[in-house]
Structure formats: structure tokens, C-alpha cells
Structure 1
Amino acid sequence: MNIETLKSVANAIVAKQKGVLAADESTPTIKKRFDKVNVESTEEIRRRYREILFTSEGIERYIGGVILYDETLRQSTQDGIPFPELLLSRGIMPGIKVDKRAKDLALFPGEKITEGLDGLRDQLIEYKELGAKFAKWRAVIEIDEHNIPTDYGIRANAHALARYAALCQELDIVPIVEPEVLMDGSHTIERCEEVTSRVLETVFTELDTHRVVFEGMLLKPNMVIPGLKCVQQESPEKIAEATIRCMRRYVPAAVPGLVFLSGGQSAEDATANLNAMNMIGPHPWEVSFSYGRALQAPVLEAWKGQESNVAAAQKMLLKRCMLNGYARDGQYDHDMERTE
């Protein structure tokens, strides 16, 4: 393990005003996204869409890393340039999602466990040869108002995250550790903070036990936020206060950055909440973003599978990246949404 290599990549991903574009949707997931804009999901159309994203002019100013799917990591531009090579040439770190998605946790109804540890070391070796500099593993933490998650459900997912992270660092691949407490449901912001606290405390205990070097990893946490069905929704200021309080209590200062997931928030809400968190800094770690839908949904709406719309789609991606870059400094204003 080369700690300096790990630190260098991690810090490059969360450099000033930069964050992560999550373009790692599985084939079934991206089909759902394409269906919403009436675009057929074929391998070539998926390749073309990702090429549109990765060749958008100016995004390297705000994007430090891109998470790829297995199919995408192996694809190239129309000119034959492999996507990892293209991204690196623009100063953007290519990464790869390595988990095999969440399945039901046996004997624990309503809870999930992420699979994919079997054969992961060999898989990571191949991904490194293909150009991946970092990886991502997502643990899905279901939440209700009273009983879920259980302590065992949290421990099981934390253990898997730590084993994954150790395997990554063994090969000088930066692990992004993603324990996502879901936004679904009617739970309050207080309940989300309680569960997120338990999750983070357990995750970092397991990471430490597995000898994971905190300086050579990134955390992809959920924001502390009410469930989508909760009657009492909260302001960006209240969300920022609760989230940062929770992170300060349980995330070691040695971690270079937090790259928050959007988790089903609208593009504007995700940016506003990120901005609010950075307005109450400084923080011991970079407070950044790793957004999928919150960056891509407006792009898909602009593109709709039409080559004539490529310029508009790329312009929209640059705008969303730029606004989140401003939010990284606490300088975003909602009026910016209405400007070109």
C-alpha cells in the first residue's frame, strides 16, 4: 500500500470547488432514466450518452472524479479513446462501482446487505489495469420510525464496507465508502440523525479494525434529512446544521473529504443543502458532492436522445457542475438557477 498515492488521488478528487459525477448507473437503472425521456437503452446509446457527459467543455473545473459502471469503464469515444484515458487527460480521476447491489438480509425482514466481496480482489486488479484510480461501494441502510435498522443490520454492512475498503487500499485504489441511510419513508430529521450517527460510528470502528488508512479514503454519506413522506420538511440551514453536527461527532478529521450523495433530492435542493453546509464552515474535511441524478436529470431532459440537443445538454451539465462548485465555497445563490 502506497499511502502517498492514495492521499494524492483522494485530495485531487475533492480539490477546491471540485466533486464527483456519479455516472455508475447499472444497465437496469439507466434504462429507467432513459425511459423517462423516451430514449431506447442500447449499449451504443448508453456509450454515446456517457461520451456526451465526459466530453462536456469546462467540467474539469468542477469535477475531480467520475464513478463509472463496468460497461462504461471498458468503452471508448467515437475516436477510440478509452473513457478512463479521456478523463485522466482532463485531470479527472476515473473510478468504478464494484458492489453487486443490495439484497435482502437473511432473517432480518426489511433490511438489506450489499453483496460483491467474493472475487473482489481479482476484479480490482483488472479494474486498476483498465485505469480506475478509485472505487465505490454502497451500503443501503433502510430506516423506519422505530425498529429498522437493527444493530446487526448496521454491523453487517459496516463490516462489508471495511473489507472492501481494505482490499482497495491494498492495491492503491482509493475507496469511496458509502453507507446510505435512505430518504424513503416518513421519518423525521431527528430520527435520521439518530440512525446516521449509529451508522457512522459503526462504520469507522470497522474501518479502523480493518487497518484502513483514513487519509486515503473518501466518505460518501447521506445528508441528515427528513424522509420524503415526512410532513415536516426542513430548510437547508436546519439540514446543514444537523448534518455537520453528526459528521463532526463521528467522522475523523483525517478523512480528506465528504462527497455527499443526493439520494433522490432535486438538483436545486441538493445544491442548496451543500451550499448551506459550506456556509457554516470551516470544516476539518472538504465538504463536497457525489451526485448522480442531481447532476444528470436536467442533462437527460435537455438531450432526449437527439444529436441536435447535445450542445444544450452539455451546457446544462456545465451549469449544474458550476453551481455545485459555487456551493463548495458557500457562494451559491438560488437566483443563479435562472441565469444562463
Structure 2
Amino acid sequence: MSLALGGLPSVLPADKLAELKETAGKLCAPGKGFLAADESAGPWLRARHVEAAKIPDVAENRAEYRSMCFATPGLSEHIGGVILHWETLFQRDAQGKAIVDIIKDNGMIPGIKVDKGYNKKGIWGTPVGPLGHPEVATVGLDDLQQRCHQAYEQGARFAKWRNVLQLDPAKQMPTELAIADCAHTLARYASISQSEGLVPIVEPEIVPN
């Protein structure tokens, strides 16, 4: 058993812990940031350009657009990690090359978004909670172990989980339960992802209502 940060015993094997530290070091290298490319729809649609809107939003076009972006020369000078949508993890370009390999060959680390969005019924499981309104709860823990394992096998080396915490003092939000649920969910996600070799990006997002 090795020691983690702070001198606490680590339950991870020494080789896995070393790999996680190496990945984290590369992701946090000075001058490097992340490229968030985890959109489910065609990224070109964000431009809201008339000509762009004519391009069909199908898997083949999304793969070509993503592979073109990730192969940009010099991109790794400022980008350390690329956050992918689950679909992208398994995609290939027109020549049959895996997109994760395009990213790695261009000097960047592939990562994966693993949360499944939020449950609109909220942490109470009903449309209306005891305060007269719902508080959203991020979902995706149920099969996270299997998905993280699969992502690592496909070449991902870090993960991202976004957990929404609503802020509205007039409605007494967030409640203590919502804060505890957010902390517990993020902690479980981080623990599971590390156990499968993925460096966790922990993203609590405070959203004003």
C-alpha cells in the first residue's frame, strides 16, 4: 500500500497511482488548458450560420469535423486534454483512424464526459420537493464503473463530471441536502474514475436561478 497526498494510505496499486499522477501532471502543465468537445450535436451548429445549418447533423459529419479540429497543427501548444462526448470515443475518421489516436498523435490526452446530465425531478424524486420546487440531481453513478473501464480501454485517461448546484436564496437554495448530495456524488465519481485509471475533473457548477 502506497501513500497518497497528505500521507493517507492509498488503496490504489502503486503503478496505477503513478500513472494517474503522470497524467495529472501533463494535464496541468503550465500554459496548457482543456478543449471541451463533449457536445452531443454537431459543433458547427453553434455558429448558427446559414450555410453551417445545411450540413446534416449525422455521426459521419460529426466524426469528420472533430477529426479535422483535433488534427490542427500546433494545437497541443496550448491544449493538454480534450474532453470528448461518449460517441467520439469510438469514432474514426474517413481513413479509419481512431479519433482518440488522432488526439494522442497530436500531443494531447483524450478524456471523457461521464455524467448523464441531471434528473429534472431532482433529489427528492418528485416534480415538487418539500420547499415547493425541485432541486436537480446529476445522474450517472449506477453504471459509472463499467463506463470508466470501457473509456480507459478505448484510450481515455481522464474524466469530467459536471454537478449542478442551484443558487436561489429567496427559495432557500441550495438546501443542506442538495449540498450533501452534490459532495457525495462528486466524491463517488472521483473515487470510481481513479480506480479505473482516469484522472477525475471534479466540476461543481453553481447555477443562479
Instruction: Tell me, in whole angstroms, the C-alpha distance in 1 between the residues paired with 2:30 and 2:140.
Output: 33
State whether structure 2 residue 206 is matched by structure 1 residue 181.
yes
Counterparts of 2:66 and 2:48, CA distance in 1 = 16
Give the structure 2 partner of residue 90 of structure 1.
106
Q: What SS class does the counterpart of residue 154 from structure 1 fall into?
A: helix
Aligned-residue offset at 1:34? 6.3
| Whole-angstrom distance in 1 between the partners of 2:116 and 2:45 | 18
Conserved? CA contact 2:73–2:106, under 8 Å = no
Contact 1:31–1:41, Cα closer than 8 Å, also in 2: no
When structure 1 is superposed on structure 2, of 96-105 and 36-45 the one drifting more is 36-45
Q: Secondary structure at the match of 1:64?
A: strand
Partner residue of 1:161? 186
Tell me the CA shift for residue 26 of structure 1.
2.3
**How far is 1:46 from its partner?**
1.2
Which residue identity lines up with residue 78 of structure 2 in the other structure? Y
Measured in 1, the distance between the counterparts of 2:186 and 2:86 equals 19
2:6 — aligned with what?
A: none
Number of equivalent positions: 183
Q: Which secondary structure does the structure 1 equivalent of 2:26 belong to?
A: helix
Describe the SS at the equivalent of 1:148: coil
1:18 paired with 2:32, answer yes
**Mapping for residues 139-158 of structure 1, pairs under 5 Å:** 139-146=163-170, 147-158=172-183
Contact 1:22 1:67 in 2 (8 A): yes
Kindly indicate whether the alpha-carbon contact (under 8 Å) linking 1:110 and 1:148 is maintained by their aligned counterparts in 2: no
CA contact (8 A) 2:165 2:174 kept: yes
* Alpha-carbon distance, 1:30 to partner: 4.9
- Identical positions, percent: 39
Q: Determine the C-alpha separation between the residues in 1 that align with 2:47 and 2:64.
A: 13
Which of the pair is proportionally richer in helix?
1
Match of 1:125 in 2: 149
- TM-score normalized by structure 1? 0.51
| Contact 2:90 2:98 survives alignment (8 Å) | yes
Q: Distance in 2 between matches of 1:74 and 1:132?
A: 11
Which amino acid is 1:11 matched to? G
Residue 55 of structure 1 is matched in structure 2 by 71
The residue identity in structure 2 corresponding to 1:172 is G
Name the counterpart of 2:138: 114
Q: Is residue 171 from structure 1 mapped to residue 196 from structure 2 by the alignment?
A: yes
Aligned pair in 2 of structure 1 residues 99, 176: CA closer, same or farther (>3 Å)?
A: same
Please state whether the residue corresponding to 2:100 is helix, strand or coil.
helix
SS in 1 for 2:87: helix
Distance 1:82 1:6 in 2: 23
CA contact (8 A) 1:21 1:67 kept: yes
Alignment deviations for residues 10-30 of structure 1 (CA, whole Å, 9 cap, x no partner): 110121210100101124x85
Cα deviation for residue 145 of structure 1 reads 3.9
Q: CA RMSD, aligned part only?
A: 1.9
Q: Tell me the secondary structure at the aligned position of residue 30 of structure 2.
A: coil
User: Secondary structure of 1:65's partner?
Assistant: strand
Shift of 1:143: 1.5
Secondary structure at 1:158 match in 2: helix
How far off its partner does 1:77 sit? 2.1
Distance 2:45 2:30 in 1: 33
**Following the alignment from structure 1 to structure 2, what is the Cα–Cα distance between the partners of residues 78 and 167?**
34
Q: Given the two structures, how large is their TM-score scaled by the length of structure 2?
A: 0.80
Q: Please list, as runs of the form range in 1=range in 2, the aligned pairs for 1:6-85 lying within 5 A after superposition.
A: 6-27=20-41, 30=43, 33=46, 37-38=52-53, 39-85=55-101
Q: 5+ unaligned residues in a row in structure 1: which ranges?
A: 186-340
Secondary structure of 2:193's counterpart equals helix
Counterpart-to-counterpart distance in 1, 2:141 and 2:160: 13
8 A contact 1:113–1:140 mirrored in 2: yes
Structure that is richer in strand per residue: 2
**Residue 110 of structure 1: CA displacement?**
3.9
Deviation of the 1:40 alpha carbon: 3.0
| 1:47–1:128 distance in 2 versus 1, CA, 3 Å | same
Separation in structure 2 between the aligned mates of residue 65 and residue 76 of structure 1, nearest angstrom: 19
